[in-house]
């Protein structure tokens, strides 16, 4: 599961990818079968006695890689005629994946999250016909997770794992300041007041970075707003809505009472996780992945609470998830599909989520785990209940061009004190043109 945004020029990489595909037959003109029908997929014959060799690529490494390795080991145990080589690519993952797709050297199965970026070049295999043929019950997954697997009317992956986001807090710092612990359902004004009380020289109540509009999305959604239209093609009338004016004013106030005294980039690593663990930040926003490590380290008394909501608003969480996908020109697509089904299905996802670093996308597995009853994980489960939107970046392939304009507007407001309404009006109209 992707647990951070990769900002190394994905739009440029995607454009290069599409061009390379056109030049090297990436749409199927490479001498290989190009039909999207599963029957056209090549694969080693089990009856031949040869091992079916697959490559599996992920951005996970270290502790977060082990759960996936465990599931693959079980798959191989049940399929002794298979060999699966795991390739860990923790840096520049998307860029390397795009390059491998364009050069027809992509792994047989790989983790993918930004389908609007991967699919325009024609390098991915749509999975609809496989799902229909094998009668895969897509209803076993959470609806919002399935929505992340779709783009342009097709399904490009089966779900891996997922996590929402919530607010971590250091109970010791609250106790020292004489501030009550936050509770689910707290308001924006209560959040801002709490941040202010926990901010002092050498200590920050919360870190709100002006260039991270990705993590701002739940605040917009909970107040009835959004960054872009549902189809990802319009910002004018959406980003510059009255609801968003109020949301940005709240976020600017939050930034002013704590993060404004933060020097640029000081807490850029994982939204301040290291500084949170050493007591320099009282609260920070993240997914559930670090919880086990924080608890095992025993350095802080940890609490977790849902995001605050505005008066009259509804808590709407953001979801981090990804899919298991395969390349259009893969040589072992039938075998790859078997691995995808196992990894994403009840058995594989149960193995992968056994250590509580994420939730299973399979509802029955998730419910049986009891994670929603764990005090530290319950807020993340609550964040999912009303989640009905996929992130802006997964709606349309041109989003990154518009995102830069919206991000610049937020920075101007936060850092330079620019007028909220006029600034987002201009940004919304400029971004609208970029999306056309």
Q: Are residues 314 and 228 in the same domain?
A: yes
Tokens of 422: 């006029």
Check residues 410 and 266 and name the one with the higher pLDDT.
410
Whether residue 414 sits in one domain with residue 287: yes
CB 104 within 8 A of CB 30: yes
From CA 97, how far away is CA 123, in angstroms rounded?
10
DSSP H/E element including 196: helix 188-197
Q: 38 falls in which pLDDT band (50, 70, 90)?
A: low
Percent of the chain predicted with pLDDT > 90: 78
**How many other CB atoms are there within 10 angstroms of residue 430's CB atom?**
17
Which two three-digit tokens encode residue 177? Answer: 């300041």
Residue 21 pLDDT > 60: no
Nearest Cα neighbor of 75 from 328, 332, 333, 337 is: 337
pLDDT value of residue 43: 47
Neighbouring CB atoms inside 10 A of 210's CB total 21
Whether residues 195 and 77 fall in one domain: no
Whether 324 contacts 206, CB under 8 Å: no
Residue 120 placed within a domain: yes
User: Residue 11: enclosing H or E segment and its boundaries?
Assistant: helix 10-24
- pLDDT computed for residue 262 by the predictor: 55
CA distance 144 to 160: 13
Give the Å distances, CA to CA, from 127 to 56, 109, 333, 357.
Answer: 17, 12, 11, 27
Q: How confident is the model at residue 36 (pLDDT cuts 50, 70, 90)?
A: very low
- CATH number of the domain to which 324 belongs: 3.40.190.10
Asked if residue 249 and residue 119 are part of one domain, the reply reads no
Q: Which of 216-225, 288-297, 318-327 has the lowest mean pLDDT?
A: 288-297
Question: Residues 250-264: what's their mean pLDDT?
Answer: 80
pLDDT at 9: 41
pLDDT at 358: 94
Q: Judge whether 377 and 163 are in contact, CB under 8 Å.
A: no
pLDDT tier for residue 39 given thresholds of 50, 70 and 90: very low
* Dist CA 112 CA 328 (whole Å): 14
pLDDT for res 74: 98
| pLDDT (0 to 100) of residue 23 | 43
Query: For residue 23, is it within any domain?
Result: yes
Residue 339 has pLDDT above 80, yes or no: yes
Residues of the domain holding 50? 10-163+320-361
The number of folded domains in the chain is: 2
d(CA 313, CA 428): 23
Give the global pTM.
0.88
Do 22 and 126 fall into the same domain?
yes
* Residue 271 confidence class, pLDDT cut points 50, 70, 90: low
E-assigned strand segments in 132-196: 150-151, 154-155, 158-163, 165-170
What SS3 state is found at 100?
A: helix
More confident residue, 37 or 136: 136
**Biggest CA-to-CA distance, the chain:** 72
Q: Which residue has the tokens 């009891």?
A: 370
Based on the domain organization, do 194 and 327 belong to the same domain?
Answer: no
Residue 376 in any domain: the answer is no
Does residue 27 register a pLDDT over 60? no
| Structure token pair of residue 265 | 């980039």
pLDDT tens-place string over residues 115-130: 999 998 899 999 999 9
Q: Are residues 131 and 219 in the same domain?
A: no
Tokens standing for residue 173:
């710092």
**Residue 46 confidence (pLDDT) above 50:** no
Mind spelling out the 3-state secondary structure of 254-275?
HHHHCHHHCCCCCCCHHHHHHH
Asked if residue 239 lies in contact with residue 407, where contact means CB atoms within 8 angstroms, the answer is: no
Do 185 and 257 belong together in one domain? Answer: yes
- 377 assigned to some structural domain: no
Same domain, 38 and 85: yes
Model confidence pLDDT, tens digit, residues 160-188: 999 999 999 999 999 999 999 999 999 99
Question: Average pLDDT over the chain, rounded to whole?
Answer: 89
Query: Can you read off the two tokens belonging to residue 166?
Result: 């919530």
Residue 143 sits in the same domain as residue 186: no
- Most confidently predicted of 42-56, 257-271, 366-380: 366-380
pLDDT of 11: 46
pLDDT classification of 211: cutoffs 50, 70, 90: confident
**DSSP code of 299?**
-
Measure the CA–CA gap between 46 and 363, rounded to whole angstroms. Answer: 33
Percent of the chain with pLDDT over 70: 86
Report if residue 357 sits inside a domain.
yes
- Asked if residue 340 belongs to a domain, the reply is yes
Contacts of 81 (CB under 8 A, 6+ apart): 46, 51, 52
Residues 280 and 425 in one domain: yes
386 within some domain: no
Does 387 reside within a domain?
A: no
Residues 6+ apart with CB under 8 A from 325: 109, 110, 111, 112, 118, 124, 125, 127, 156, 157, 340
285 and 332 together in one domain: no
């Amino acid at each position: 599961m992707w647990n951070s945004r990769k900002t190394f020029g994905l739009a440029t990489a995607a454009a290069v990818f599409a061009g390379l595909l056109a030049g090297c037959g990436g749409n199927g003109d490479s001498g290989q079968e190009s039909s999207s029908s599963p029957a056209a997929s090549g694969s080693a014959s089990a009856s031949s006695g040869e091992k079916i060799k697959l490559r599996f690529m992920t951005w996970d490494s270290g502790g977060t890689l082990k759960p996936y390795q465990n599931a693959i080991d079980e798959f191989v145990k049940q399929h002794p005629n298979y060999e699966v080589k795991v390739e860990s690519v923790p840096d520049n993952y998307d860029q390397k994946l795009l390059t491998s797709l364009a050069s027809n050297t992509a792994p047989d199965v790989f983790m993918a999250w930004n389908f609007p970026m991967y699919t325009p070049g024609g390098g991915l295999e749509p999975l609809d016909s496989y799902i229909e043929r094998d009668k895969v019950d897509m209803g076993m997954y959470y609806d919002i997770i399935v929505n992340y697997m779709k783009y342009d009317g097709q399904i490009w992956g089966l779900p891996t794992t997922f996590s929402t986001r919530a607010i971590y807090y250091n109970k010791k710092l609250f106790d020292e300041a004489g501030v009550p612990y936050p509770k689910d359902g707290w308001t924006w004004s209560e959040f801002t007041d709490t941040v202010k009380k926990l901010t002092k020289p050498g200590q920050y109540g919360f870190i709100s970075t002006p260039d991270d509009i990705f993590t701002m999305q739940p605040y917009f959604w909970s107040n009835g707003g959004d960054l872009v239209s549902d189809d990802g093609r319009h910002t004018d009338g959406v980003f510059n809505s009255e609801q968003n004016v109020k949301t940005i004013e709240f976020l600017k106030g939050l930034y002013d009472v704590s993060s404004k005294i933060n020097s640029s980039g000081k807490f850029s690593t994982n939204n301040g996780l290291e500084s949170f663990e050493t007591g320099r930040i009282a609260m920070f926003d993240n997914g559930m992945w670090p919880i086990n490590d924080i608890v095992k380290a025993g350095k802080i008394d940890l609490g977790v609470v849902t995001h605050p909501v505005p008066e009259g608003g509804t808590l709407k969480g953001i979801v981090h998830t990804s899919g298991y996908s395969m390349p259009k020109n893969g040589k072992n697509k039938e075998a790859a599909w078997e691995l995808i089904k196992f990894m994403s299905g009840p058995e594989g996802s149960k193995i992968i989520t056994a250590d509580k670093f994420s939730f299973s996308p399979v509802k029955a597995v998730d419910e049986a785990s009891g994670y929603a009853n764990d005090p530290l994980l319950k807020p993340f489960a609550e964040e999912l209940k009303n989640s009905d939107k996929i992130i802006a970046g997964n709606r349309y392939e041109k989003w990154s061009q518009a995102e830069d304009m919206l991000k610049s507007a937020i920075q101007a407001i936060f850092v330079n004190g620019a007028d909220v309404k006029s600034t987002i009006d201009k940004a919304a109209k400029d971004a609208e043109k970029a999306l056309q």
